[in-house]
Amino acid sequence: MAFDYKKEYKEFYSPPKKPSIVDIPSINYIAVRGKGDPNDENGEYKKAINMLYGISFTIKMSYKGEHKIDGYFEYVVPPLEGFWWQDGIKGIDYAHKENFHFISLIRLPDFVTKTDFDWAIAEATQKKKTDFSKVELLSYKEGLCVQCMHIGSYDDEPTTITTMHQYAKQNGYELDIADTRYHHEIYLSDPRKCDISRLKTVVRHPIKPKQ
C-alpha cells in the first residue's frame, strides 16, 4: 500500500475543528513563489499549481523510468499547501486578494535529493514542453504554531483564525507572523469537486511564548 502522509502524520494534516498547538519540524517541499489573486484564472497562482503537480508526479512516477531514486517507496502525493502574506499587515485582508504574495507547496518525500529534483525539472521540461524554472526545492522548519481544521469557504476563515488566536493567548502564546513565518493553509478538498460549505482546510499560524 502506498505511503500516505495525511494518514501517517494526522497531527499535521487532520487536526480537530478546535485549535491545538503543534511543533512542525523541517520538511522538504516543491515550491513556487508568486503574487496576485488566486481566483484569477490567468493569474500566477493557477500556473504555480500546474507546475507543482507537474514536478510532483514526475518524481512520483520516476520508478517506471530509467532514473532510479535511492530509497524510493510508493506514496500518495501530499496535499497542496500555501504560505500567504500581504505587504504591510500581519495577517490576511480577504477583501484585497490582489495584494497576495504566496509560496505554493507540495511536500516531498525525504528520499528526494537535490540531484533527483534537478532531474525531475529537466525531465518535465522536456516531456511537457513547459518552463519549470520557477519551481524550487525548499526546506522549511515551521516550528511552533496554532492550527485548526476550517470547514467551509476560504472567505470565512477569519472566524476560525480569531478562535485560534484566542486559544493561543489563553495558553501563554502570542502570534508570530513575520517575514519568514506565514499564514499557512493546507487544502484537503478540491473546490472543483466539493461543495463550498464542506471544504476542509488546515489553517496554521506561527506563534511564540508570550514575553
What pLDDT is stored for residue 53 in this prediction?
A: 97
Contact 29, 136 (CB under 8 A): no
Locate 205 and state its grid cell: 499560524
Locate 65 and state its grid cell: 523510468
Contact 17, 149 (CB under 8 A): yes
CA distance 48 to 183: 18
- C-alpha separations of 6 from 79, 80, 115, 120, 140 in Å: 8, 11, 26, 24, 18
Q: CA Rg, the chain, in Å? A: 18
What pLDDT is stored for residue 193 in this prediction?
A: 85
pLDDT in tens, 7-40: 999 999 999 999 999 999 999 999 999 999 999 9
Strand, helix or coil for residue 202: strand
Low-confidence ranges of the chain (pLDDT < 50): none
CA atoms within 13 A on the CB side of 199: 19
Spatial neighbors of 109 by CB under 8 A, at least 6 apart, are 3, 28, 73, 75
Contact 208, 21 (CB under 8 A): no
Percent of the chain with pLDDT over 70: 100
What pLDDT is stored for residue 84 in this prediction?
A: 97
DSSP element (H, E) containing 3 = none
Contact 54, 82 (CB under 8 A): no
Locate 6 and state its grid cell: 495525511
What pLDDT is stored for residue 192 in this prediction?
A: 84
Instruction: Say what the pTM is.
Output: 0.96
Give me the residue label for grid cell 493569474.
43
What pLDDT is stored for residue 211 in this prediction?
A: 84
